[in-house]
Amino acid sequence: MLAIIGGTGLTEMPDLEITQRHGVETPLGAASSGVLQGILDGRDVLFLPRHGHPHKLPPHRVNYRANVWALKQAGATRIIGVNAVGGIEPALAPGALVVPDQLIDYTSSRESTYFDGRFKPLQHIDFSWPYDAELRDALLRAGEQAGELLEDGGVYGCTQGPRLETAAEIARMARDGCRLVGMTGMPEASLARELEIPYACLALVVNPAAGVVESEITMAEIEAALESGIERVKKVIRALLG
């Protein structure tokens, strides 16, 4: 069953015909919200708003371990993480949709593994290619079907937040090869890998990253990009289900 982790701007799926509300508690603490199970265009889907509904948890306070566990418990066999991001590459203007193929984790102090020797015995997963190739392909095909141009590939840099970055931090990330910057892609992706659930990211650019253009980043521009962009994200998800 496909699961969607909704990011900022995607805290609900109004067209989802809800059939079951899963509990919020897991052995790792409370998930951001109870997982919603429902039917969208005739297909069973799971939905979890990453920041809760209404949006209440900042990126560094999300219990990623509980969220991914809750989805597994509810029967998820594939996960799409939807993420609002800043565009580091100047060509990635607000509204661009990207399916990254790599990531760099710049976060710190997040509970980031099940294999910590306490909850589960230590294990080192392979994470050379953090996103599932088949699920990425399926997303890219869904974009074509939906008539939405999806950028194929690129490095997602995940920062700790909640503050936005300095221009120098973004310049360094560009030198590292990052095309995108967000705050919520990790440890979600590696936790899914630990539980052997194929995972891919659909990223919506909502602002040029710090220093990419001269103006400061405002919440107003981010909200405007989210409003129009999220409808296109939903179109791609529906095509993926179809």
Binding-site residues for substrate sit at: 183, 207-209
Q: Residue of minimal CB distance from ligand HPA?
A: 86
CB of 146 to ligand HPA, least distance (A): 23
CB of 1 to ligand HPA, least distance (A): 28
Nearer Cβ to ligand HPA (19/166): 166
CB of 158 to ligand HPA, least distance (A): 9
Q: What CA–CA distance (Å, rounded) separates 216 from 143?
A: 31
Annotated binding site for phosphate: 8, 50-51, 184
Which residues are 209's β-sheet partners? Answer: none
Nearer Cβ to ligand HPA (15/176): 176
- Residues at the contact surface with ligand HPA, assessed by CB under 6 A: 84-86, 159, 164-165, 181-183, 206-207, 209
Annotated binding site: 8, 50-51, 183-184, 207-209
CB of 19 to ligand HPA, least distance (A): 32
Sequence letter at residue 88: I
Nearer Cβ to ligand HPA (155/239): 155
Nearer Cβ to ligand HPA (164/195): 164
